[in-house]
Structure 1
């Protein structure tokens, strides 16, 4: 009992499958977002390194705008702002509400891509410039140098940071519950409406998030130790 409130977790037993389904939705939504964000971030990194000024400017504006505005605002702009301008995101194969999921994936991926772009940029800059010069002296062109020499070393550097981005995005995806999507955070609203219990769902959801982030933190630590050993 806390104050005048009595905790009764037995009332949550009938809803355990809802928590599981919500957690699964959170994980797959995060995975898709980070994968798409990695692709976007890598492309933005290439654009930032381009010698063509307009391409460079587009990448810089993209990362500045995304990193300088709240992710919740970005979700609202994609989910509600674009349709109001006539840019409608269709349902996938006629599946109800899939357009809203797709809108959230787009917004979250763009957000993740901006941060991953900076991760890649830092990773590439961390590679000694002498390595590129040595590769060119061996007859490799710029593309071969990037693919065979620079990228493999940069990937080893940024991999732990990408895992950390995954951890951050697991928590950021909780914002999709404000749009009525069935992630683990939205589960609380449904269960609260059915049981009128407030605190118990929050505690269970907190444990789920803690378990997910703890596992990923452990993986991140293993990767960093592996990278340091190989180095």
Structure 2
């Protein structure tokens, strides 16, 4: 039996969002009215800039690397496909926190040692000085760990989206004499992006949350600022309630923005 239009309209209304928005506003009023919560919020909010910076830079780099790995996995070269599959399976098999520690305390020193070995003649000539491990900031070690970790997942998103494009359209592009690069830029990617965007947006939101892991390296993000305040004041409930509140505002807001972008792209495609 068909569902009445009015019933469907009421069912589709985002009541969860209305309730969440009301709770968010109530929490904001409560924070503003409470000296303690206002102080905690002011302290923790200092880490928002670092959280946003880490997320944006790491996601941009991970997307670029992920696209490259996906194209390697779809290439005609058997060796490139095997290298891409090796990278994806190995990186996805390592927990993000372990990868973070490895990059920070093993990968960075190894990179510095290799860099100094390669550039030793230039250093002896006095062109520049020796690179030290402490010269590689913990912030950038954390960014590189998130970049490497998420690039493996994002590469699978790109691969699935590209493979979802109908073979007939690619064959038609070949018949028109388009080069491989032109086919990808003009035919494949514009269609694949509609399939790629939803899971890619999910990965972006997930990275916002996983960026809290950088606090274990002492990077002054939202979580680290909360840890510092709670350790000094012993106000753990108040502090981590504010930390959770800020992360919820960021992640839910991003999810809604990405959902709106998806709907806009869908309408453009239908037109």
Unaligned runs of 5+ in 1: 1-7
Question: In structure 2, what is the equivalent of residue 128 of structure 1?
Answer: 166
Measured in 1, the distance between the counterparts of 2:74 and 2:84 equals 9
Question: In structure 2, what is the equivalent of residue 49 of structure 1?
Answer: 74
1:11 and 1:195 in contact (8 A); partners too: no
Aligned pair in 2 of structure 1 residues 86, 161: CA closer, same or farther (>3 Å)?
closer
Q: How far 1:27 sits from its partner (Å)?
A: 1.1
1:226 corresponds, among 264, 267, 271, to: 264
Give the RMSD, CA atoms, in angstroms: 2.4
Q: Deviations over 1:101-147 (max 9, x none)?
A: 11111110011111110110011011111100111122212221111
Measured in 2, the distance between the counterparts of 1:177 and 1:71 equals 13
1:156 and 1:227 in contact (8 A); partners too: yes
Moved more, 67-76 or 218-227: 218-227
2:162 and 2:189 in contact (8 A); partners too: yes
1:160 is aligned to 2:185: no
Measured in 2, the distance between the counterparts of 1:10 and 1:97 equals 40
Task: Give the TM-score of the pair, scaled to structure 1.
Answer: 0.88
Q: Deviations over 1:59-83 (max 9, x none)?
A: 1111101111100010011001224
Question: In structure 1, what is the equivalent of residue 156 of structure 2?
Answer: 118
Aligned positions, number:
221
Q: Aligned ranges for residues 42-121 of structure 1 at < 5 Å?
A: 42-83=67-108, 85=110, 87=112, 99-121=137-159
1:35 is aligned to 2:55: no
3-state SS of the aligned residue for 1:51?
coil
Measured in 2, the distance between the counterparts of 1:221 and 1:151 equals 20
2:40 and 2:238 in contact (8 A); partners too: no
Measured in 1, the distance between the counterparts of 2:190 and 2:224 equals 40
